[in-house]
Chain A
Amino acid sequence: MRDQFQSPIVLLGARLLSPYIMVFGWYVIIHGHYSPGGGFQGGALLAASLLLIRVAGGSKLAELQIQEFATTPLAVIGVVIYFATGLVAMAAGGYFLDYEALPIPGVEPDWLRYIGILIIEVGIGLAVMAILVMIYDNMVRGEDYA
């Protein structure tokens, strides 16, 4: 599983498709306010684009994209973005995760909620992407050991 796939056509197809899937994943996260989508779906798409290269190209090619040790910090960053949003709102005088109290000057309360939802969607997307890639990497490791 860690070696490159034998057929060059599979590798070429994976390399062709992967960037478009990644762009579409970011589109689904950012455009989640206006169309079906959001952090979970976009994060799953981002993980799909990374896992496609991992399955087709082997671990040597995958290290150029995102390295194995980098997935755990990315997951932590995703969770911390979500938690820090709630904590900042609480420190500024509101309740936990009450986006009305976010300290951004000159924005109406309803548009503050809009911004808060956007921030936590990005956090969810990062965490879901990193965790799905992390599960795959650890499974490959465990299988190699046997």
Chain B
Amino acid sequence: MLDFFFGHYAYWFVIILLCIGAYGILFKKNLIKKTIGLAILQISVVLYFVSIASKWDATVTVMDPDIPLDQVANYLNPLPHTLMLTAIVVGVATLGVAFTLLIAIYNRYETLDEEELIDKIQ
């Protein structure tokens, strides 16, 4: 039972973080708060990929001459780290685009509240 807990608690924290992000998207009226929820949701996915890349008793993905490369169990899996490295930077850039669109919306309608915005558009 304890073994099961230590094998799975990282997944539960990631799921809780994902639900916090979904809560921000679903419940908050302000568009900036919705965007923050979107960022939290994205970070939870990044944390999930990093957590499944781990191996017990393994070292980081930089080659050490003392540790042989033949036994794969000595090193972490480098592929999820690489994918998440690019995903983080794309996330920052798309967050910049999201805030740009919010600034454009605010310049035109002078509000960021969802219901007021729907009223003003119609």
Contact residues of A with B, CB < 8 Å? Answer: 34-36, 38, 40, 44, 128, 131-132, 135, 138-139, 142-143, 145-146
Contacts and interface: CB of A to CB of B under 8 A. Distances in A.
Contact of B103 (A36, A40, A143): A143
11 contacts: A35-B62, A36-B62, A131-B93, A135-B93, A135-B96, A135-B100, A139-B100, A142-B100, A142-B103, A142-B104, A146-B106
A44 B91 CA distance: 13
Interface in B62-89: 62, 85-86, 88-89
A142 B62 contact: no
A132 B60 CA distance: 29
Interface residues of B, number: 16
A105 to B, nearest CB: 28
A132 B92 contact: yes
Contacts of B60: 36
A2 B3 CA distance: 56
B122 interface: no
Contacts of B89: 40, 44, 128
Contact of B107 (A44, A132, A146): A146
B103 to A, nearest CB: 4
Nearest to A33: B62
A21 B93 CA distance: 21
B23 interface: no
B99 interface: yes
Given A132-B92, A143-B103, A146-B106, 9 more contacts: A38-B85, A128-B89, A132-B96, A135-B93, A135-B96, A138-B100, A139-B96, A142-B100, A142-B107
Contacts of A143: 103
B53 to A, nearest CB: 14
Interface string B89-120: 10011001001100110110010000000000
